[in-house]
């Protein structure tokens, strides 16, 4: 696809691992955007309006990340994107309803390791 080729041309002079990660990140952003669009459409069709917020946020984060990624800022963009996606379930659960101890436990059990691995990587 031409958009992937034009984005990846920015990273040709980088080490091979950055080039490969850049290609994978571009594909991942497109997959997340498409999935968010499909899930948002399904929730809209099923009149689950409170479930549209996560889809819109993921779509917004993905489009913004793709815009910065296409400007050659892969490392910063990917780190911030994964941190934002990692915190998204916690933010959404706080806005939709009050948290109980089980929600906080599940968040830290599943999302925090994802954020830590993102920062390490």
> Cα(77)–Cα(25) distance, rounded to whole angstroms?
10
Which of the residues in the chain have pLDDT under 50? none
Helix, strand, coil shares, percent, the chain, to 5:
85, 0, 15
pLDDT score at 77: 86
**Phi, psi dihedral angles at 73 (to 5 degrees):** -110, 65
pLDDT score at 103: 61
> Cα(32)–Cα(17) distance, rounded to whole angstroms?
22
Q: How far is Cα of residue 101 from the mean position of the Cα atoms in its chain?
A: 26
pLDDT score at 96: 62
pLDDT score at 104: 63
pLDDT score at 119: 64
């Amino acid at each position: 696809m031409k958009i992937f080729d034009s984005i990846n041309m920015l990273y040709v002079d980088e080490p091979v691992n950055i080039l490969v990660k850049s290609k994978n990140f571009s594909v991942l952003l497109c997959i997340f955007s498409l999935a968010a669009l499909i899930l948002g459409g399904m929730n809209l069709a099923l009149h689950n309006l409170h479930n549209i917020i996560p889809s819109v946020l993921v779509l917004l984060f993905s489009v913004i990340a793709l815009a910065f990624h296409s400007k050659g800022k892969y490392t910063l963009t990917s780190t911030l994107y994964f941190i934002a996606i990692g915190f998204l379930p916690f933010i959404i659960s706080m806005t939709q309803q009050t948290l109980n101890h089980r929600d906080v436990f599940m968040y830290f059990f599943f999302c925090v390791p994802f954020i830590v691995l993102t920062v390490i990587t």
